[in-house]
Amino acid sequence: MAVSAICATSCVTQKQMTYLREVTSASADSINNRFHSISEIVIKPGDELTVFVSALDREAVAPYNLPTVSYNALNNSSVQTTPMLQTHRVDEEGNIEMPVLGKIHVEGLKRGEAAQAIKAALEKQVVNPMVQVNMIGAKVTVMGEVQHPGQVSITNGRLTILDALSVAGDLTPYGRRDNVLVTREQDGKLEFARINLTSEDIFASPYYYLQQNDVIYVSPNKVRAISSTNAGLWISMISTVASAATVIVTVVNSSQNKSNRTSNQSSNQGQNGSGN
């Protein structure tokens, strides 16, 4: 009976595994009134950017596209240039250090806005410059009850929580759809939010669109706790107690049957003696 009870509580219902089960066609207007689309993430301190500058006068923009330089071998004066753009790390003040131009503030800007800021500084020295800014290494971390925990890259400038969980292989049957934790660092402080993947409120959450370095943790449900090694231990203990009880009952019944047979034999002998 105990094993049957454990098995009964170890079932995950279809309702518990369904995403956005509260969303219907009638709720579309309500969702759109609260939904705010974000085109892409903004630049933060610690991000790494690549900046490519082009113009008709290639010599004029050469200082801004310095290639990576490496020596061929020790004690060898020859150098080798690699056709790869150098990265610019955003410092704590939100600036990047550009050749010739010096520091340019890019914190809080999108890639296109950062390109415009660099272009405005370049126009004082270069005729009709074109600037392309790319963010590299932007990622979020997915942990807990997902098929493939790890880091997910933000490749197209934006990433939703549903996108990140999809890349991680979706939640396991043991993951709670109504209690997904998102951890975010904002203005030097940590923020925490609980996301309910079954509710339409997810689309109005400021954590629906993820930011670089966000951490997503999917907590386990009760079924995971029951199906852990502790459940096996309890089943083993129950099985041992049941076996011991069976042995005790068998011994007691056997003793009672033997006692009854002895009593019956004595009674029969007494009756036979009286008859004689």
Residue 238 has pLDDT above 80, yes or no: no
Same domain, 90 and 203: no
Within 10 angstroms of residue 141's Cβ, the number of other Cβ atoms is: 16
Within 10 angstroms of residue 35's Cβ, the number of other Cβ atoms is: 14
* 219 neighbors 176 (Cβ within 8 angstroms): yes
Q: Is 201 within a domain?
A: yes
**pTM for the predicted model, two decimal places:** 0.69
How far, in Å, CA of 2 to CA of 234, rounded?
Answer: 9
Structure confidence at residue 219 (pLDDT)? 93
Chain mean position to CA 232: 28
| Mean pLDDT for the stretch of residues 155-169 | 93
Structure confidence at residue 243 (pLDDT)? 79
Domain that holds residue 26: 15-40+138-226
| CATH code of the domain in which 165 resides | 3.10.560.10
Same domain, 77 and 116: yes
Count how many residues are written for the chain: 276
Q: Is 153 within a domain?
A: yes
The region of weakest confidence among 73-82, 167-176, 191-200 is 73-82
Same domain, 132 and 57: yes
R_g of the chain computed on alpha carbons: 36
Number of domains within the chain? 2
Structure-model confidence comparison of residues 234 and 124, the more confident one: 124
Same domain, 83 and 35: no
Same domain, 171 and 208: yes
Same domain, 23 and 60: no
- pLDDT digit string, tens, across residues 239-258: 777 777 787 877 777 777 76
Residue 7 has pLDDT above 60, yes or no: no
Same domain, 158 and 200: yes
State the average pLDDT for the chain: 81
User: Please, which pLDDT band fits residue 12 given cuts at 50, 70 and 90?
Assistant: low
Considering only CA atoms, which of 130, 134, 105, 109 is closest in space to residue 119?
A: 130
- pLDDT digit string, tens, across residues 13-63: 656 667 776 676 666 777 777 777 787 899 999 999 999 999 999 889 888
Angle between helix axes 229-275 and 2-9 (nearest 10 degrees) is 160
Last residue of a domain, one of 209, 226, 243: 226
Same domain, 130 and 151: no
What is the bridge-based pairing of β-strands 95-98 and 67-71? unpaired
- pLDDT digit string, tens, across residues 175-223: 999 999 999 998 889 999 999 999 888 988 999 999 999 999 999 988 7
Rounded to 5 degrees, φ, ψ at 202 are -60, -35
The 8-class DSSP code of residue 209 comes to: B
The SS3 call for residue 38 is coil
Same domain, 32 and 144: yes
Structure confidence at residue 83 (pLDDT)? 52
Same domain, 159 and 218: yes
Q: Is 183 within a domain?
A: yes
Same domain, 76 and 151: no
The residues, any chain, with a CB within 8 Å of residue 87's CB and separated by 6 or more, are 48, 49, 50, 136
Structure confidence at residue 128 (pLDDT)? 93
Within 10 angstroms of residue 20's Cβ, the number of other Cβ atoms is: 17
Same domain, 25 and 102: no
List residues bridging with 125 in a β-sheet: none
Residue 81 has pLDDT above 60, yes or no: no
Q: Is 173 within a domain?
A: yes
User: Please, which pLDDT band fits residue 75 given cuts at 50, 70 and 90?
Assistant: low
Rounded to 5 degrees, φ, ψ at 251 are -65, -45
DSSP assignments along 113-178, one per residue? HHHHHHHHHHTTTSSS-EEEEEEES-EEEEEESBSS-EEEE--SS--BHHHHHHHTT-B-TTEEEE
Structure confidence at residue 82 (pLDDT)? 55
Q: Is 249 within a domain?
A: no
